Protein backbone atom coordinates (compact mmCIF):
# COMPACT_ATOMS: atom_id res chain seq x y z
CA UNK A 1 0.00 0.00 0.00
CA UNK A 2 1.34 3.44 -0.91
CA UNK A 3 2.18 5.67 2.06
CA UNK A 4 -0.59 8.11 3.01
CA UNK A 5 -0.34 11.46 1.28
CA UNK A 6 -0.09 14.64 3.37
CA UNK A 7 -3.03 16.98 3.02
CA UNK A 8 -2.43 20.25 1.22
CA UNK A 9 -4.77 23.16 0.57
CA UNK A 10 -4.80 25.54 -2.34
CA UNK A 11 -5.87 29.15 -2.11
CA UNK A 12 -6.60 31.05 -5.33
CA UNK A 13 -6.75 34.84 -5.07
CA UNK A 14 -8.92 36.53 -7.66
CA UNK A 15 -8.14 40.20 -7.14
CA UNK A 16 -10.95 42.22 -8.76
CA UNK A 17 -14.14 43.63 -7.27
CA UNK A 18 -17.02 45.38 -9.01
CA UNK A 19 -17.28 47.68 -5.96
CA UNK A 20 -15.00 48.42 -3.04
CA UNK A 21 -16.42 48.14 0.48
CA UNK A 22 -15.43 50.89 2.90
CA UNK A 23 -14.37 48.44 5.60
CA UNK A 24 -12.31 46.07 3.44
CA UNK A 25 -8.59 45.77 4.10
CA UNK A 26 -7.98 42.83 1.78
CA UNK A 27 -5.88 43.09 -1.32
CA UNK A 28 -8.23 44.01 -4.13
CA UNK A 29 -8.80 46.32 -7.08
CA UNK A 30 -11.86 47.68 -8.80
CA UNK A 31 -12.60 46.13 -12.18
CA UNK A 32 -10.78 48.39 -14.67
CA UNK A 33 -12.74 50.56 -17.12
CA UNK A 34 -12.04 48.34 -20.12
CA UNK A 35 -13.01 45.21 -18.16
CA UNK A 36 -10.83 42.50 -16.64
CA UNK A 37 -8.31 40.76 -18.87
CA UNK A 38 -9.60 37.35 -17.83
CA UNK A 39 -7.26 35.49 -20.15
CA UNK A 40 -4.18 37.19 -18.71
CA UNK A 41 -5.14 36.56 -15.07
CA UNK A 42 -5.98 32.93 -15.77
CA UNK A 43 -2.75 32.33 -17.69
CA UNK A 44 -0.76 33.86 -14.84
CA UNK A 45 -2.64 31.84 -12.23
CA UNK A 46 -2.09 28.64 -14.20
CA UNK A 47 1.62 29.35 -14.55
CA UNK A 48 2.02 30.04 -10.84
CA UNK A 49 -0.07 27.00 -10.00
CA UNK A 50 2.16 24.75 -12.08
CA UNK A 51 5.37 26.04 -10.55
CA UNK A 52 4.08 25.96 -7.00
CA UNK A 53 2.26 22.64 -6.94
CA UNK A 54 4.64 20.55 -9.04
CA UNK A 55 7.13 19.94 -6.16
CA UNK A 56 4.26 18.55 -4.06
CA UNK A 57 2.86 16.11 -6.58
CA UNK A 58 4.50 13.02 -5.13
CA UNK A 59 3.49 13.10 -1.47
CA UNK A 60 0.53 15.44 -1.09
CA UNK A 61 -3.16 15.36 -1.77
CA UNK A 62 -5.42 18.37 -2.21
CA UNK A 63 -7.92 18.46 0.58
CA UNK A 64 -9.40 21.79 -0.34
CA UNK A 65 -9.34 24.55 -2.90
CA UNK A 66 -10.60 28.00 -2.02
CA UNK A 67 -11.32 30.78 -4.49
CA UNK A 68 -11.14 34.00 -2.53
CA UNK A 69 -10.56 37.61 -3.32
CA UNK A 70 -11.42 40.21 -4.39
CA UNK A 71 -14.60 38.80 -5.83
CA UNK A 72 -13.92 35.45 -7.49
CA UNK A 73 -17.54 35.14 -8.57
CA UNK A 74 -16.59 37.75 -11.20
CA UNK A 75 -14.25 35.19 -12.77
CA UNK A 76 -15.37 33.13 -15.70
CA UNK A 77 -16.62 29.65 -14.70
CA UNK A 78 -14.62 28.08 -17.52
CA UNK A 79 -11.42 29.53 -16.09
CA UNK A 80 -12.30 28.30 -12.64
CA UNK A 81 -12.80 24.87 -14.16
CA UNK A 82 -9.38 25.09 -15.84
CA UNK A 83 -7.66 25.93 -12.57
CA UNK A 84 -9.37 23.09 -10.69
CA UNK A 85 -8.53 20.68 -13.43
CA UNK A 86 -4.89 21.70 -13.64
CA UNK A 87 -4.51 21.61 -9.86
CA UNK A 88 -5.91 18.11 -9.62
CA UNK A 89 -3.61 16.97 -12.40
CA UNK A 90 -0.58 18.22 -10.41
CA UNK A 91 -1.66 17.02 -6.97
CA UNK A 92 -4.46 14.48 -6.72
CA UNK A 93 -7.72 15.67 -5.21
CA UNK A 94 -8.67 13.87 -2.01
CA UNK A 95 -11.95 12.01 -1.96
CA UNK A 96 -14.66 14.56 -1.11
CA UNK A 97 -12.24 17.49 -1.38
CA UNK A 98 -13.89 20.79 -0.58
CA UNK A 99 -13.83 23.41 -3.34
CA UNK A 100 -15.22 26.76 -2.22
CA UNK A 101 -15.95 29.92 -4.16
CA UNK A 102 -16.62 33.27 -2.51
CA UNK A 103 -19.22 35.45 -4.11
CA UNK A 104 -21.19 38.64 -3.89
CA UNK A 105 -24.95 38.35 -4.13
CA UNK A 106 -25.52 40.56 -7.16
CA UNK A 107 -28.00 39.11 -9.57
CA UNK A 108 -25.39 38.82 -12.32
CA UNK A 109 -23.23 36.63 -10.13
CA UNK A 110 -26.17 34.59 -8.91
CA UNK A 111 -26.94 33.80 -12.54
CA UNK A 112 -23.48 32.20 -12.87
CA UNK A 113 -23.93 29.92 -9.84
CA UNK A 114 -24.93 26.81 -11.79
CA UNK A 115 -22.01 27.27 -14.14
CA UNK A 116 -19.64 27.39 -11.18
CA UNK A 117 -21.12 24.17 -9.91
CA UNK A 118 -20.51 22.62 -13.28
CA UNK A 119 -16.93 23.92 -13.14
CA UNK A 120 -16.33 21.82 -10.02
CA UNK A 121 -17.22 24.13 -7.13
CA UNK A 122 -18.67 22.11 -4.23
CA UNK A 123 -19.23 24.80 -1.63
CA UNK A 124 -20.60 28.28 -2.15
CA UNK A 125 -19.93 31.23 0.14
CA UNK A 126 -22.02 34.38 -0.13
CA UNK A 127 -20.99 37.75 1.31
CA UNK A 128 -24.29 39.12 2.54
CA UNK A 129 -22.74 41.31 5.30
CA UNK A 130 -26.05 42.96 6.20
CA UNK A 131 -29.66 42.98 5.08
CA UNK A 132 -30.01 46.70 5.80
CA UNK A 133 -30.11 48.38 2.40
CA UNK A 134 -29.08 51.73 3.89
CA UNK A 135 -25.93 50.27 5.44
CA UNK A 136 -25.17 48.26 2.28
CA UNK A 137 -25.26 51.46 0.31
CA UNK A 138 -23.18 53.44 2.81
CA UNK A 139 -20.58 50.70 2.86
CA UNK A 140 -20.35 50.84 -0.92
CA UNK A 141 -21.96 47.51 -1.76
CA UNK A 142 -23.99 47.26 -4.96
CA UNK A 143 -26.70 44.81 -3.98
CA UNK A 144 -29.79 44.75 -1.80
CA UNK A 145 -30.71 42.57 1.14
CA UNK A 146 -33.46 40.96 -0.93
CA UNK A 147 -30.98 40.02 -3.65
CA UNK A 148 -28.75 38.48 -1.01
CA UNK A 149 -31.55 36.28 0.31
CA UNK A 150 -32.45 35.26 -3.22
CA UNK A 151 -28.82 34.28 -3.81
CA UNK A 152 -28.85 32.27 -0.57
CA UNK A 153 -31.95 30.39 -1.68
CA UNK A 154 -30.48 29.66 -5.08
CA UNK A 155 -27.25 28.40 -3.49
CA UNK A 156 -29.19 26.18 -1.10
CA UNK A 157 -30.80 24.42 -4.01
CA UNK A 158 -27.53 24.01 -5.95
CA UNK A 159 -25.18 23.19 -3.02
CA UNK A 160 -27.45 21.66 -0.39
CA UNK A 161 -25.75 21.58 3.01
CA UNK A 162 -22.68 23.34 1.63
CA UNK A 163 -23.57 27.00 1.61
CA UNK A 164 -21.87 29.56 3.78
CA UNK A 165 -23.36 32.98 4.44
CA UNK A 166 -21.11 35.84 5.62
CA UNK A 167 -22.58 38.48 7.92
CA UNK A 168 -21.10 41.39 9.79
CA UNK A 169 -22.27 43.10 12.95
CA UNK A 170 -21.40 46.32 14.69
CA UNK A 171 -22.07 48.81 11.90
CA UNK A 172 -22.52 52.37 13.04
CA UNK A 173 -25.93 52.93 14.62
CA UNK A 174 -26.79 49.23 14.51
CA UNK A 175 -28.55 48.18 17.71
CA UNK A 176 -28.44 44.78 19.35
CA UNK A 177 -32.14 44.30 18.48
CA UNK A 178 -31.59 45.13 14.84
CA UNK A 179 -28.72 42.68 14.68
CA UNK A 180 -30.78 39.97 16.31
CA UNK A 181 -33.63 40.47 13.83
CA UNK A 182 -31.26 40.40 10.86
CA UNK A 183 -29.60 37.28 12.12
CA UNK A 184 -33.00 35.59 12.62
CA UNK A 185 -33.79 36.23 8.97
CA UNK A 186 -30.44 34.98 7.77
CA UNK A 187 -30.71 31.88 9.94
CA UNK A 188 -33.98 31.05 8.20
CA UNK A 189 -32.07 31.02 4.91
CA UNK A 190 -28.93 29.30 6.19
CA UNK A 191 -27.90 26.00 4.72
CA UNK A 192 -25.03 24.48 6.61
CA UNK A 193 -22.68 27.30 7.55
CA UNK A 194 -22.52 30.90 8.80
CA UNK A 195 -19.60 33.28 9.28
CA UNK A 196 -20.48 36.17 11.60
CA UNK A 197 -17.78 38.81 11.84
CA UNK A 198 -17.57 41.77 14.11
CA UNK A 199 -16.93 44.81 11.93
CA UNK A 200 -13.23 45.42 12.40
CA UNK A 201 -11.89 48.85 11.68
CA UNK A 202 -8.63 48.19 9.87
CA UNK A 203 -6.04 50.93 9.40
CA UNK A 204 -5.87 52.12 5.81
CA UNK A 205 -9.55 51.59 5.04
CA UNK A 206 -11.97 54.43 4.20
CA UNK A 207 -13.99 53.40 7.25
CA UNK A 208 -10.92 53.87 9.44
CA UNK A 209 -10.47 57.39 8.12
CA UNK A 210 -14.16 58.15 8.66
CA UNK A 211 -13.91 57.05 12.27
CA UNK A 212 -10.69 58.91 12.88
CA UNK A 213 -12.26 62.07 11.46
CA UNK A 214 -15.32 61.35 13.61
CA UNK A 215 -17.59 61.24 10.57
CA UNK A 216 -18.65 57.79 11.70
CA UNK A 217 -19.11 56.67 15.29
CA UNK A 218 -17.95 53.32 16.55
CA UNK A 219 -20.26 51.17 18.56
CA UNK A 220 -19.09 50.87 22.20
CA UNK A 221 -17.09 47.74 23.02
CA UNK A 222 -19.71 46.42 25.38
CA UNK A 223 -22.42 46.70 22.70
CA UNK A 224 -20.21 44.75 20.31
CA UNK A 225 -19.66 42.13 22.98
CA UNK A 226 -23.40 41.83 23.48
CA UNK A 227 -23.93 41.41 19.72
CA UNK A 228 -21.38 38.62 19.70
CA UNK A 229 -23.01 36.92 22.67
CA UNK A 230 -26.41 37.28 21.00
CA UNK A 231 -25.08 35.59 17.87
CA UNK A 232 -23.59 32.68 19.81
CA UNK A 233 -26.84 32.06 21.67
CA UNK A 234 -29.11 32.48 18.68
CA UNK A 235 -27.07 30.17 16.44
CA UNK A 236 -26.96 27.53 19.11
CA UNK A 237 -30.74 27.65 19.49
CA UNK A 238 -31.06 27.07 15.72
CA UNK A 239 -28.72 24.11 15.72
CA UNK A 240 -25.64 25.84 14.36
CA UNK A 241 -22.67 24.97 16.52
CA UNK A 242 -20.07 27.62 17.21
CA UNK A 243 -16.72 26.10 16.20
CA UNK A 244 -14.42 29.07 15.66
CA UNK A 245 -14.53 32.69 16.83
CA UNK A 246 -16.64 33.80 13.86
CA UNK A 247 -17.82 30.50 12.40
CA UNK A 248 -20.88 28.30 12.93
CA UNK A 249 -21.80 24.98 11.30
CA UNK A 250 -24.87 22.74 11.27
CA UNK A 251 -22.70 19.64 11.58
CA UNK A 252 -19.00 18.78 11.77
CA UNK A 253 -19.18 17.94 8.03
CA UNK A 254 -20.45 21.44 7.29
CA UNK A 255 -17.38 23.12 8.86
CA UNK A 256 -15.00 24.74 6.43
CA UNK A 257 -12.26 22.20 5.78
CA UNK A 258 -10.15 24.85 4.10
CA UNK A 259 -10.29 27.36 6.94
CA UNK A 260 -9.79 24.64 9.57
CA UNK A 261 -6.50 24.00 7.77
CA UNK A 262 -5.26 27.49 8.71
CA UNK A 263 -6.22 27.09 12.34
CA UNK A 264 -4.80 23.59 12.59
CA UNK A 265 -1.45 24.65 11.18
CA UNK A 266 -1.69 22.61 8.00
CA UNK A 267 0.15 23.38 4.78
CA UNK A 268 -1.27 25.52 2.05
CA UNK A 269 -0.18 27.06 -1.21
CA UNK A 270 -1.62 30.39 -2.22
CA UNK A 271 -1.57 31.69 -5.79
CA UNK A 272 -2.60 35.09 -7.12
CA UNK A 273 -1.47 38.60 -6.24
CA UNK A 274 -0.59 39.09 -2.55
CA UNK A 275 -1.51 35.47 -1.71
CA UNK A 276 0.29 33.89 1.25
CA UNK A 277 1.55 30.30 1.47
CA UNK A 278 2.89 28.21 4.29
CA UNK A 279 4.36 24.83 3.56
CA UNK A 280 7.29 22.56 4.14
CA UNK A 281 9.65 22.99 1.27
CA UNK A 282 10.16 19.50 -0.16
CA UNK A 283 13.69 20.44 -1.26
CA UNK A 284 15.03 21.70 2.08
CA UNK A 285 12.58 20.26 4.58
CA UNK A 286 12.19 23.67 6.23
CA UNK A 287 8.92 25.45 6.76
CA UNK A 288 8.45 28.48 4.53
CA UNK A 289 6.04 31.34 4.50
CA UNK A 290 5.81 33.18 1.20
CA UNK A 291 3.93 36.18 -0.10
CA UNK A 292 3.21 36.97 -3.75
CA UNK A 293 3.64 40.40 -5.36
CA UNK A 294 0.60 42.53 -4.47
CA UNK A 295 0.42 44.62 -7.64
CA UNK A 296 -1.75 42.74 -10.14
CA UNK A 297 0.11 43.71 -13.31
CA UNK A 298 3.57 43.14 -11.86
CA UNK A 299 2.46 39.85 -10.37
CA UNK A 300 1.01 38.66 -13.68
CA UNK A 301 4.13 39.67 -15.61
CA UNK A 302 6.35 37.88 -13.13
CA UNK A 303 4.22 34.71 -13.37
CA UNK A 304 4.45 34.69 -17.15
CA UNK A 305 8.20 35.39 -17.17
CA UNK A 306 9.40 33.36 -14.16
CA UNK A 307 6.53 30.99 -13.51
CA UNK A 308 5.66 32.62 -10.19
CA UNK A 309 5.09 36.00 -8.57
CA UNK A 310 6.71 35.34 -5.19
CA UNK A 311 7.81 38.59 -3.55
CA UNK A 312 9.06 37.30 -0.23
CA UNK A 313 9.92 33.98 1.29
CA UNK A 314 10.91 33.41 4.89
CA UNK A 315 11.58 30.48 7.17
CA UNK A 316 9.16 29.77 9.98
CA UNK A 317 11.27 28.55 12.88
CA UNK A 318 10.10 26.15 15.53
CA UNK A 319 9.44 28.89 18.07
CA UNK A 320 7.14 30.72 15.67
CA UNK A 321 5.45 27.52 14.59
CA UNK A 322 4.70 26.58 18.18
CA UNK A 323 3.36 30.00 18.98
CA UNK A 324 1.17 29.97 15.88
CA UNK A 325 -0.11 26.51 16.71
CA UNK A 326 -1.40 27.74 20.08
CA UNK A 327 -2.68 31.10 18.87
CA UNK A 328 -4.67 29.56 16.03
CA UNK A 329 -5.55 26.30 17.74
CA UNK A 330 -7.28 28.16 20.54
CA UNK A 331 -9.48 30.06 18.09
CA UNK A 332 -11.44 26.83 17.75
CA UNK A 333 -13.84 25.65 20.42
CA UNK A 334 -12.42 22.16 19.88
CA UNK A 335 -9.02 23.61 20.76
CA UNK A 336 -5.84 21.74 20.03
CA UNK A 337 -4.58 18.36 21.04
CA UNK A 338 -1.18 17.86 22.50
CA UNK A 339 -0.49 15.15 19.93
CA UNK A 340 -1.26 17.61 17.17
CA UNK A 341 0.83 20.34 18.83
CA UNK A 342 3.83 18.03 19.16
CA UNK A 343 3.93 17.25 15.48
CA UNK A 344 2.63 20.60 14.30
CA UNK A 345 3.32 20.89 10.59
CA UNK A 346 6.65 22.58 10.88
CA UNK A 347 8.11 21.66 14.21
CA UNK A 348 11.32 19.83 13.39
CA UNK A 349 13.41 20.16 16.53
CA UNK A 350 12.88 18.02 19.60
CA UNK A 351 9.23 17.63 20.41
CA UNK A 352 7.80 19.77 23.17
CA UNK A 353 4.48 19.07 24.83
CA UNK A 354 1.87 21.71 25.58
CA UNK A 355 2.57 21.23 29.27
CA UNK A 356 6.26 21.90 28.67
CA UNK A 357 5.65 24.81 26.35
CA UNK A 358 2.93 26.85 28.01
CA UNK A 359 3.05 28.74 31.29
CA UNK A 360 1.30 26.05 33.26
CA UNK A 361 0.53 28.21 36.31
CA UNK A 362 -1.38 30.62 34.11
CA UNK A 363 -3.10 27.79 32.26
CA UNK A 364 -4.18 26.31 35.59
CA UNK A 365 -5.64 29.61 36.65
CA UNK A 366 -7.68 29.96 33.47
CA UNK A 367 -8.80 26.33 33.76
CA UNK A 368 -9.91 26.99 37.32
CA UNK A 369 -11.71 30.20 36.38
CA UNK A 370 -13.60 28.51 33.56
CA UNK A 371 -11.90 30.21 30.62
CA UNK A 372 -10.14 27.09 29.38
CA UNK A 373 -10.86 23.39 29.58
CA UNK A 374 -8.53 20.46 29.21
CA UNK A 375 -8.35 16.74 29.47
CA UNK A 376 -5.64 14.73 31.18
CA UNK A 377 -2.42 16.54 31.81
CA UNK A 378 -2.98 18.95 28.94
CA UNK A 379 -3.55 16.15 26.44
CA UNK A 380 -5.99 18.56 24.99
CA UNK A 381 -6.56 22.26 25.56
CA UNK A 382 -9.56 24.28 24.44
CA UNK A 383 -11.25 27.56 25.26
CA UNK A 384 -14.72 27.64 26.77
CA UNK A 385 -17.23 30.01 25.16
CA UNK A 386 -16.38 32.54 27.81
CA UNK A 387 -12.67 32.07 27.24
CA UNK A 388 -12.88 32.30 23.47
CA UNK A 389 -14.49 35.70 23.79
CA UNK A 390 -11.34 37.07 25.46
CA UNK A 391 -8.80 34.63 24.06
CA UNK A 392 -6.44 37.39 22.89
CA UNK A 393 -5.99 38.47 26.53
CA UNK A 394 -5.54 34.88 27.69
CA UNK A 395 -2.91 34.12 25.07
CA UNK A 396 -0.74 36.94 26.38
CA UNK A 397 -0.68 35.23 29.75
CA UNK A 398 -0.25 31.60 28.82
CA UNK A 399 2.32 31.87 26.04
CA UNK A 400 5.91 31.70 27.20
* Chain residues in the site for another protein (CB under 8 A): 11, 26-27, 197-198, 200, 221-222, 224-226, 228, 245-246, 259, 262-263, 268, 270, 274-278, 289, 320, 323-324, 327-328, 331, 371, 388-396, 399
Dihedral of CA atoms 165, 203, 257, 341 in degrees, nearest 10, equals -150
The burial of 130, by beta-carbon neighbours within 10 Å (0-12 exposed, 13-18 middle, 19 or more buried), is given as buried
Q: Give me the least distance between CB of 129 and another protein, in Å please.
A: 13
Give the shortest CB-250-to-another protein separation in angstroms.
Answer: 21
Nearer to another protein, 156 or 243 (CB): 243
Round to whole Å and give the CA distance between 310 and 34.
27
Nearer to another protein, 12 or 254 (CB): 12
Query: Between residues 160 and 220, which has the closer beta carbon with respect to another protein?
Result: 220
**Toward another protein, which CB reaches closer, 149 or 268?**
268
Least separation in angstroms between CB 3 and another protein? 27
Taking the least distance from each CB to another protein, the nearer of 62 and 113 is 62
For residues 271 and 354, which CB has a smaller minimum distance to another protein in the complex? 271
User: What's the min distance (Å) between Cβ of 119 and another protein?
Assistant: 23
Q: Which residues face 29 on adjacent strands?
A: 16
Smallest separation (angstroms) from another protein to the CB of 108: 26
For the bound state, the minimum distance from the C-beta of residue 246 to another protein, rounded and expressed in Å, comes to 5
CB of residue 254 vs another protein: minimum separation in angstroms?
A: 18
Which of 193/331 has CB closer to another protein?
331
Q: What is the 3-state secondary structure (H, E, C) of the chain?
A: CCCCCEEEEEEEEECEECCCCCCCCCCCEECCCCCCCHHHHHHHHHHHHHHHHHHHCCCEEEEEEEEEECCHHHCCHHHHHHHHHHHHHHCCEEEEEEEEEEECCCHHHHHCHHHHHHHCCCEEEEEEECCCHHHHHHCCCCCCHHHHHHHHHHHHHHCCCCEEEEEEECCCCCCHHHHHHHHHHHHHHCCEEEEEEECCCCCCCHHHHHHHCCCCCCCCHHHHHHHHHHHHHHHHHCCCEEEECCEEECCHHHCCHHHHHHHCCCEEEEECCCCEEEEECCCCCCEEEEEECCCHHHHHHHHHHHCCCEEEEEECCHHHHHHHHHHHHCCECCCEEHHHHHCCCCCCCCCCCHHHHCCHHHHHHHHHCCCEEEECCCCEEEECHHHHCCHHHHHHHHCC
Least separation in angstroms between residue 345's CB and another protein is 12
The CB-of-396 to another protein minimum distance in angstroms stands at: 5
In the bound state with another protein, the residue whose beta carbon lies nearer, of 210 and 320, is 320
Which of residues 27 and 153 has its CB atom nearest to another protein in the complex? 27
Rg (C-alpha) for the chain, rounded Å, is 21
Amino acid sequence: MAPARTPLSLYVHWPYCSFLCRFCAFSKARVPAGGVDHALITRALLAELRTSLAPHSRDKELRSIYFGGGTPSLAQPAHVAQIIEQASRLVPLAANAEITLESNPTSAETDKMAAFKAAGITRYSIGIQTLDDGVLQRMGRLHSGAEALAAANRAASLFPGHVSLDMMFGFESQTVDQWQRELETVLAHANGHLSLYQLTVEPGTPLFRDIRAQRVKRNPDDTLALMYETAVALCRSRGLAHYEVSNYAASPEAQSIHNLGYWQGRQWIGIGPSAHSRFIDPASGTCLRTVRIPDIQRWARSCLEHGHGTAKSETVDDAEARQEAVVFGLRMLDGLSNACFMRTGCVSSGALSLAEYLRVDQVQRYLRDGYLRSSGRLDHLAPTERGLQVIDSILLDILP
